[in-house]
Amino acid sequence: MQTLDENKRKKIIAAAGKLFGKKDYHSVCLSEIAAEAKVGKGTLYVYFKSKEDLFSSVRIEGYMDMYRYLSKNIDTESGDPLEHLHKIISETVKYCYRNKSIFKLLRAGTGTKMKPEIKKTRKKVLELTRSVIESGVEKGILCDSKPAYTANYLLDVVRSGLSYSDGQIPQDELIEHIYNFFSRALKK
Amino acid sequence: MQTLDENKRKKIIAAAGKLFGKKDYHSVCLSEIAAEAKVGKGTLYVYFKSKEDLFSSVRIEGYMDMYRYLSKNIDTESGDPLEHLHKIISETVKYCYRNKSIFKLLRAGTGTKMKPEIKKTRKKVLELTRSVIESGVEKGILCDSKPAYTANYLLDVVRSGLSYSDGQIPQDELIEHIYNFFSRALKK
DNA sequence: ATTACAATACTGGTCAGTCGGTATTGATAG
DNA sequence: CTATCAATACCGACTGACCAGTATTGTAAT
C-alpha cells in the first residue's frame, strides 16, 4: 500500500509559501503551486482538502516554524528581560529576512475570517514576547500596562520595517532601531 | 456626451471603499460595487478605466482624505512636539475608527506592485509624522536616529491595534497605550 | 427627439475542484 | 524470494462557475 509522504507535503507547503508570499491569495493558482512543487495538481487534493486549507496550512506551518526557531533560541526563564527582548527582536527579524516569503503572511487575511487554528498558532508566537515583557514588569525592570498589545505591535513593526522601501534596510540597522525603540518605550 | 458628475464619482469611490474594506480585492466584484453605488456597471467604466484603477483611486482618495483630516487638525509649526505626537496618534486612531473600512487598505497591496501615485499619497501622511518627530529632535526634546522608520511603524501599530481581537479595544484606551508607547520611546 | 444612464445580456478567459485512469507500495501467501 | 492483490497515491484533462469588461436595450427626463 502506498503511503502519504510527509516529505512531499513539506515540498507542497514550501512551494505554496513561496508563491503566497509573492502574490496575493487569488492571484496564485493551484496549477502554479503544483508546478512549483513538481507534483500533479490532483496530488494537492490528496494532501489538502482545498485551496483555503492549503493556505491555512502554510500559515500555521509558518508560525509553528517561527515559534520553534524562536523558542530554541530564546530562554525566557532566566536572565535579563531586556536581553530577551533584544533576542526576540533580532531573532524575529533574522528569521523573516531568511524567510522573506513568510513575513507577508504574518498579517495576510484573505478576507475570509482567520481560522481559529491559525489564530492559536499565531498566539503562540505572541505569547513568547508577552511573557518576556510581563516577567520584566514583575521584576520591576519594565513598564507596560498592556503587554499583550505591545507583543502584537512587535510583529507588525517588524513587518513594517521589512517592507519599508521594499526591504532596503540592512538587517542589523533594523534590529537596532526596533530594539532601541522598544527598549526605550518599555524601560522603567 | 455625458458630463462627468464629481458627486457620482464620490459615490462610487465610497461604495468601492466600503466593499474593499470588508473583502479582499478579488472577492469584490464590479456588479456588487455598481449595485452598492446605485449606478449601472457600465457607468463604472465611464469614471474609471479598470478595476485596478478604481481600487487605486479608492486608496489614493483614502490617504488624501486622511491627510486632509490630519493636517486640518494638526499644526506642525508651533508648540510642543509631544503634544503634536499625541494629536497625530489620537486623530489617526479616531479617523480609522470612524472609517473602519479604510484602515485595512493602509497596507493592502494587491499582489501587483503598489502604484507610485499611491506611494506618493501614502508618503504625505507619513511625512506629517516624520516632520513632527524631526522637529522634536532638532529642538532636543525627542531622540530618534531614523524618524522615517518610526513614522512608518506608527501607521502599522495603529492598524495592529485596530485589528487586535477584531477591534475590541476601546478607542481611548488604544490611543493612550500607543501614545504612551511612542512618547516613552522617543522622549529624550 | 435626444440625452443620459440603469439594467442586463454577452463574451472570452481564468481557475478551483473533480474524475477516471495509471503507477506505486506494503502485505500476504506459497 | 517472488508473485499476486488491494489499497491508494498520483496525475492532468476536463468542467462548471465566476467575473472583468463590452455591447445592447429600455426608460425617464428635458
* pLDDT tens per residue, range A129-156: 999 999 999 999 999 999 999 999 999 9
* All protein residues with a CB under 7 A from any atom of strand D: A 1-5, 8, 34, 39-43, 45-47; B 26-31, 40-42, 45, 50-52
Q: pTM, whole model, 2 decimals?
A: 0.92
> Does residue B100 carry a pLDDT above 90?
no
Return all residues near A48 (Cβ < 8 A) that are at least 6 apart: A12, A54, A57
Measure CA A29 to chain center: 23
Q: Do A180 and B145 touch (CB under 8 A)?
A: yes
Average pLDDT for A89-118: 83
Would you state the pLDDT for residue A31? 97
Determine which of A171-185, B15-29, B100-114, B168-182 has the lowest per-residue pLDDT on average.
Answer: B100-114
Return all residues near B165 (Cβ < 8 A) that are at least 6 apart: none
Average pLDDT for A42-46: 97
Q: Which nucleotides of D are covered by protein (CB under 7 A)?
A: 6-13, 18-24
> Does residue B144 carry a pLDDT above 90?
yes
Helix (H, G, I), strand (E, B) or coil at B16: helix
Q: Containing H/E element for A14? A: helix A6-22
Residue B106: closest C-alpha in chain A: A160
> Does residue B109 carry a pLDDT above 70?
no
Would you state the pLDDT for residue B26? 94
Runs of H (alpha helix) within chain B: 6-22, 30-37, 41-47, 51-73, 81-98, 100-105, 116-138, 147-163, 171-186
- Comparison of pLDDT for B74 and B174, the residue scoring more: B174
Residue A28: closest C-alpha in chain B: B111
* Nucleotide with smallest C1' distance to residue B2 CA: C4
